Amino acid sequence: MNQAEAVQHVSKQKKKRNWKKISLIIGGSVLIVCITVLIFVNVFMNKSLPQIEGTITLPMLEEEVVVLTDDSGIPHIKAQNDHDLFVVQGYLQAQNRIFQMELSRRQASGTLSEVVGEAVIDQDKYFRTLGLRRAAEKSYEIYSDEGKEVLSWFAEGVNAYIDEAKDNNSLPVEFLLMGSEPEPWSPIDSLTIGKFMAFDLGGNWERQAFNYYVLNQFKQEKAYELFPHYPNNKPTIMEGEEIDIASSFENAVIPHAFNGSNNWVVSGEKAESGLPLLADDPHLGLATPSIWLQMHLESEAVNVSGVIFAGVPGIILGHNEHIAWGVTNTGPDVQQLYIEKRNPDNDNEYLYEEDWEEATVIEEPIHVKDGETIDYHVTETRHGPIVSEFAEESGKDTVLSLRWTALDPTTELEAILEINRATNWEEFEEGLEKFLVPAQNFVFAANDGTIAYKANGRIPIYTDGDDALLPLPGWNAEHEWQGFIPYDELPTLVNPEKGYIATANNKVVGDDYPYHISNVWAQPYRYERIAEVLEAGEDLTVQDMQALQMDITNLQAREFVPIFIENLKGVKLNEDGEIALSLLEKWDYTDDVNYPEPLIFHHWIDEMEAILYHDEIPESVMGLFGSRGQTTDELLRKAASGEESIWITENGGLETVLKSSLENTIAKLTEVYGDDLTAWKWGDYHTVQFDHPLSAVHPVLTYLFNNEDPMPVGGSAVTPMAAAYHSETGEVNHGASWRFVIDTNDMNAGYHIVGPGQEGHFKSEWYDDQIDDWVNGTYHLTDLNTEVGKTLTFLPE
């Protein structure tokens, strides 16, 4: 190497060292920036964590309030008066769940477009049409002064938190991601959320629309087979122009068909402690955060523990020092579609008793984020809002309106306040008289030994011949509801001889009951299994009740698998089909997470429904075919007993339907889970995650908000451990939103599971700490007398 080359080499080495230094400096700077950003983001996130220790000053308080947060994140609020109690309850709910509360009131009010944009316009139109907020405003007018005060105090507490969070820039990160802030809370917001729960617990208009559709599309006998029961009077298609059901309700928001529940009470004679046991698990949507917020409220007037919807004061389900209660959905026919004849010469007039009546037109402008305001209006006849044209014109001069008890003024919060303070069945039942919608099966237990039941709520009386199966003519007074079932004549049972009362959305009255309640009841399997266990049980304990809530016995399979095997005897199946039948024949009929049999059975039922319905009923109408499992079961029973089922006969008969659907099932499952059927597991398909509403927006948000990977879980929609799932993904999205058990021998101790957790903030230790508990049935104890936890003191100014 000559001198020139040596110099050049040295120069290159120096440049390399310089670039290396520069790279290190740049890399270090980037790292510092990233760390700084992460620290800033972390500090920002932590600012919005709920405060559970120290002191908070609220000028509106009259006296000091102490909140003890126990090891499960449950706040125990101890106040000297009701005013301070509900102010602090509002503050704590907002601190915990303000984003959830904001979404809930916007969804129910039809104002999501303001913060989400055009993607939810149709949903907003639908809720504006229903008018849940208008119904809440009407309800507020009939509330007592006490009820209005509680709503106002609660709103004060919510707004105190909102103002403080805005001033401190400590709103939850979800608001930053949405580019919005919460508006002030009002009493109407709380009542609107209450009305939304009546909506979420469903109704019967969808099935009426479906029945109307099939009567128009198929021969009457074929259509009747899809009715909830074979109608005695054989109703016919209503006169007037045919309404296009498929397009009229294409964008309707249909509540989940599985909105049911389990509850039961056991008398002291069957309990080891000698006093009644109560268990309740309402089945609702499973998401993060939970639909429920668990709290303990104590003042001079009340000492009550349990759960409440975020955004609502009081405790709706739970116990106090004397009584405990729980609910399931009664599911009565409280919605009625009416066919309305519109005046061809005046769009705002509708025929009634040979006269044209003027409808009410309500302006409901929809403000759209980054878009123009939509000039939307709602038309209401004497029966209610026109629902068949909320999206666009339908039916020309014939439309459908909706009469629904939840759109009337009602007083559920008044009932909650009274039952929270009740000490016995008489006081509890008196409070229930104000709980009008949604109609619920209340079970009750008290430490005086009483167990009781009431199918409570406002249930319409239909004219003879009108049985809520189809839309009714809106132009004849004879088809109007004839009032409501008198309160004292609602189904009621106190201290029955058999020693227990259970409900699981099953039929609650016999044929001798003088009033119509419902055409559609849940499949009976959950109730039958609960009754089977309670009937045989003696010396029952809290642990027995918890085990029954987690029971995964599938009585649908116990009924139908032997029928399927019997009807396929001698039928030539492929090797996998024979293996599948062999597995099912040895199955113990439990939907165990590690078994292949439930995977085969549930998919087999799905494939039967696909063969029977999907070629003839469009997807847009299938959404209206609520509780179709009940119908499918009945078709299979008929065919298996030798009766003709048109739907099965037209698809080749029962043997052909069973063989084809089994082969389809095995082929589809083999593609996903491999050739070895014995290695398949129900839990490989059937999983739960509790998705956050923003988790689907971006993978980063999925990571932040859905902290747990999907977990395999047993049970199904037909087992007491309720775990309904999306048929395409297997993701469990409906089930026991809260599990609760109490022995009235110790009224201080309630056992709970609130999946996925108590808190709404993803960095909280109680955000998703109960997912494993939910899957495995591990309950936490909440004690009215707890003295252990973190102390937060609220001070008046």
Amino acid at 765: E
Mean pLDDT of the region 466-471? 92
Kindly calculate the radius of gyration of the chain based on its CA atoms and give it in whole angstroms: 29
Q: Report DSSP state, residue 478.
A: G
Mean pLDDT of the chain: 91
Least confident of 73-77, 355-359, 390-394, 696-700: 390-394
CB 403 within 8 A of CB 338: yes
Over 70: is that where the pLDDT of 30 sits? Answer: no
Percentage of the chain with pLDDT > 90? Answer: 84
What SS3 class is residue 748?
A: coil
Whether 648 is in a domain gets the answer yes
Q: How confident is the model at residue 228 (pLDDT cuts 50, 70, 90)?
A: confident
Residue 13: band (very low, low, confident or very high) from pLDDT cuts 50, 70, 90: low
- With a CB cutoff of 8 Å and minimum separation 6, the contacts of 43 are none
Q: How many helices and strands in the chain, by DSSP H and E?
A: 25, 28
Contact 265, 277 (CB under 8 A): yes
Report the Cα 795 to chain-centroid distance in Å.
37
Structure tokens at 111: 């104002």
660 lies in some domain: yes
The confidence score (pLDDT) of residue 379 equals 96
Whole-number Cα distances in Å, 3 to 6, 12, 15, 16, 24: 5, 14, 18, 20, 31
Q: What is the mean pLDDT of residues 254-276?
A: 86
Does residue 520 surpass a pLDDT of 80?
A: yes
- Band (38; pLDDT cuts 50, 70, 90): very low
Give the β-pairing of 780-783 and 711-712. Answer: unpaired
Residue with the bigger pLDDT between 741 and 203: it is 741
State the pLDDT at residue 391: 37
The values of phi and psi at residue 73, to 5°, are 85, 15
Is there a domain that residue 642 lies in? Answer: yes
Contact of 172 with 102, CB cutoff 8 Å:
no
Q: 33 or 667: whose pLDDT is higher?
A: 667
What is the pLDDT at residue 256? 56
In degrees and rounded to multiples of 5, residue 351 shows phi and psi of -75, 135
Q: Is the pLDDT assigned to residue 185 strictly greater than 70?
A: yes
| Cis preceding linkage at 282, omega within 30 | no
pLDDT of 694 > 50? The answer is yes
CATH of the domain at 656: 1.10.1400.10
Q: Using one digit for the tens of pLDDT, what is the confidence trace for 246-264? A: 555 555 665 555 557 999 9
As given in the structure block, the two tokens for residue 739 are 């599990």
CA–CA separation, 569 and 574 (whole Å): 13
Q: How confident is the model at residue 396 (pLDDT cuts 50, 70, 90)?
A: low
pLDDT at 400 over 80: yes
- Element (H or E) spanning 8, and its range? helix 3-47
Q: In angstroms, rounded to a whole number, what is the distance separating the alpha carbons of residues 239 and 415?
A: 43
Give the pLDDT confidence score for residue 249 in this predicted structure. Answer: 57
Asked whether the beta carbons of 172 and 99 are under 8 A apart, the reply is: yes
626 contact partners, CB below 8 Å, separation of at least 6: 202, 206, 207, 210, 254, 257, 520
What token pair was written down for 200? 């979420």
How far is Cα 499 from Cα 534, in angstroms, rounded to an integer? 9
Selection from 661, 654, 625 nearest residue 640 by Cα: 654
Rounded distance between C-alpha atoms, residue 211 and residue 690, angstroms? 34
Answer for the pair 596, 679: CB distance below 8 angstroms, yes or no: yes
Strands 780-783 and 749-753, sheet pairing: antiparallel
d(CA 283, CA 70): 26
Q: Give yes or no for residue 231 having a pLDDT over 80.
A: no
pLDDT the model gives residue 284: 95
| Strand positions, DSSP E, 331-450 | 335-343, 346-352, 355-358, 360-363, 377-380, 398-404, 440-446
Structure tokens at 278: 């109560």
Nearest-angstrom CA–CA distance, 665 and 609: 12
Q: Where does 597-641 have alpha helices with state H? A: 597-613, 619-622, 628-640
Q: What local confidence, expressed as pLDDT, does residue 105 receive?
A: 98
Average pLDDT over residues 748-770: 96
> Can you tell me the mean pLDDT for 6-15?
53
Task: Give a yes or no: residue 345 inside a domain.
Answer: no
Distance (Å, whole) CA 79 – CA 66: 7
Q: Is the pLDDT reported for residue 323 higher than 60? A: yes
Q: What is the pLDDT of residue 7?
A: 46
Residue type, 581: L
Structure tokens, 708: 């747990």
Answer yes or no: is 24 within a domain. Answer: no
Tokens of 612: 């029977």
pLDDT for 241 equals 45
Q: SS3 letters for 437-456?
A: CCCEEEEEEECCCCEEEEEE
Q: Which tens digits make up the pLDDT trace of 405-457?
A: 999 999 999 999 999 999 999 999 999 999 999 999 999 999 999 999 999 99
pLDDT band for 545, please (50, 70, 90 cuts).
Answer: very high
Q: Is residue 40 part of a domain?
A: no
CA-nearest of 201, 209, 200, 202 to 468 is 209
Reported as a single tens digit per residue, the pLDDT across 624-681 is 998 899 999 999 999 999 999 999 999 999 999 999 999 999 999 999 999 999 999 9
Whole-number Å distance between alpha carbons of 338 and 470: 9
pLDDT of 398 > 90? The answer is no
The two three-digit tokens of residue 265, written as one number = 């009470």
Q: How far is CA 62 from the centre of its chain?
A: 37
Three-state DSSP at 203 gives coil
How far is CA 234 from its chain centroid?
A: 34
Q: What is the pLDDT of residue 127?
A: 97
Joined tokens for residue 213:
């559709």
Q: How would DSSP label each residue in 481-550?
A: ---B--GGGS-EEES-TTSEEEESS---S-TT-SS---S----THHHHHHHHHHHH--SB-HHHHHHHHT
Q: 312 φ, ψ to 5°?
A: -130, 135
Q: Could you identify the residue written with the tokens 């208009």?
A: 205
CA distance linking residue 596 with residue 496, whole number of Å: 41
Average of per-residue pLDDT across 464-489: 95
Q: Which residues of 37-72 are buried (b: 16+ CB within 10 A; e: fewer)?
A: eeeeeeeebeebbbbbeeebebeebeeebebbbbeb
For position 620, what pLDDT does the model report? 87
Given a cut of 90, is residue 353 above it in pLDDT? yes
Structural domain harbouring 673: 556-589+596-680
* Residue-level pLDDT at 290: 97
pLDDT digits (tens, 9 = 90+) for 557-609: 999 999 999 999 989 999 999 999 999 999 999 999 999 999 999 999 999 99
Q: Would you say residue 75 lies in a domain?
A: no
> How far apart, in Å, do the first and last CA atoms of the chain sit?
86
Residue 788, in any domain of the structure? no
Apex CA 196: angle with CA 195 and CA 201, to 5°? Answer: 100
Angle between helices 654-673 and 597-613 (to 10 degrees): 130
| pLDDT value of residue 627 | 85
Which sign does the torsion angle of CA 130, 379, 390, 116 carry?
Answer: negative
Alpha carbons 401 and 471: distance in angstroms, whole number: 9
Q: What are the CA-CA distances from residue 72 to residues 65, 315, 359, 699, 775 (Å)?
A: 20, 18, 53, 29, 17
User: By C-alpha distance, which of 302, 517, 289, 330 is closest to 435?
Assistant: 330
Number of domains within the chain: 1
